[in-house]
Amino acid sequence: MFTRTESFREFTRLYPIVSIIIAIHLGLYFLTILPIFPNLWFFENLSGVNLYIMEGDYWRLLTPTFMHSGFSHMLFNSFSLVLFGPALERMLGSGRFLFIYLLSGLIANIATLLLEPLTYTHVGSSGAIFGLFGYYIAMIIFRKNMMSKQNSQIIITICVISLIMTFLQPNINITAHLFGFLGGFLLGAIPNFNKKELSDSIQSTANWAGTKKKSISFQSPMKTLIWAVIIILSILGFLSQR
């Protein structure tokens, strides 16, 4: 469920929203390092700055979700989305997945505005990614038949580690992490959220995954090790939100 075996073309076709978000991450990052805009224009105009939001820059409640403080921050958050976004996009459909992702990020940024000082500045997609984790946890609690026990254990373990590290790492937007997670959880807990369609989509995902089983079974130990390293780096990366 969380191991990617698709080619680049298959990935972009099956998970268009995840692909578009990652493309935005890359595009904005390269625009911040190219010498075509003076004085870090994108950071000055798209970062989450509470004072500027209070003065009317309301777009800053959303745009920080796509901005990152550096290459490693952007890369690891994008890895996190590659690992944990596709399964949910496949299960929910592109429209609902985008709604959950953006709303979780928005909730995280609104909470940051309300609870952090006016001088507080932040960027990063961690709030939205924690929203995906929250949604997964809601599925595990309220729709136990929709995820296997193994995948549920993986998500729970990663969530626990991530939430603990949120309080241990310096320069973390703790508010965004917690409220992004809470937002995703509440969205996932909504009863009768197109439950039949979701079940059909999950069954479709399971059937599609079955066609990939042969290729997965022939993965080398080295490839498995590489994916384990990527998962660990991804967790550390989205915990570095400023």
Q: Could you read off the pLDDT of 117-146 as tens digits, one per residue? A: 999 999 999 999 999 999 999 999 988 777
Q: Looking at residue 22, what is its pLDDT?
A: 96
Q: Looking at residue 172, what is its pLDDT?
A: 87
List the catalytic residues. 126, 177
Greatest mean pLDDT among 69-83, 91-105, 200-214 lies in 91-105
Rounded to an integer, the average pLDDT of 209-230 is 48
pLDDT band at 232 (very low <50, low <70, confident <90, very high): low
Nearest to 201 by CA among 129, 101, 96: 96
Average pLDDT, the chain: 82
What is the reported pTM?
0.81
pLDDT band at 241 (very low <50, low <70, confident <90, very high): very low
pLDDT band at 33 (very low <50, low <70, confident <90, very high): confident
Does the pLDDT at position 208 exceed 50? no
What does the block give as tokens for 206? Answer: 């399971």
**What structural domains does the chain harbor?**
8-238 (1.20.1540.10)
Taken in order 19, 20, 25, 26, is the CA torsion positive or negative? Answer: positive
Distance CA 91, CA 81 (A): 15
Q: What is the DSSP letter of 194?
A: S
pLDDT band at 200 (very low <50, low <70, confident <90, very high): very low
Per residue in 37-78, pLDDT (tens digit) is 665 788 889 999 999 999 999 999 999 999 998 888 899 899
Q: What is the DSSP letter of 2?
A: -
Q: Looking at residue 191, what is its pLDDT?
A: 77
What does the block give as tokens for 132? Answer: 């995906």
Q: Looking at residue 215, what is its pLDDT?
A: 42
Tell me, what amino acid is at 67? M
Nearest to 24 by CA among 76, 74, 82, 96: 74
Per residue in 169-196, pLDDT (tens digit) is 788 899 999 999 999 999 999 876 544 4
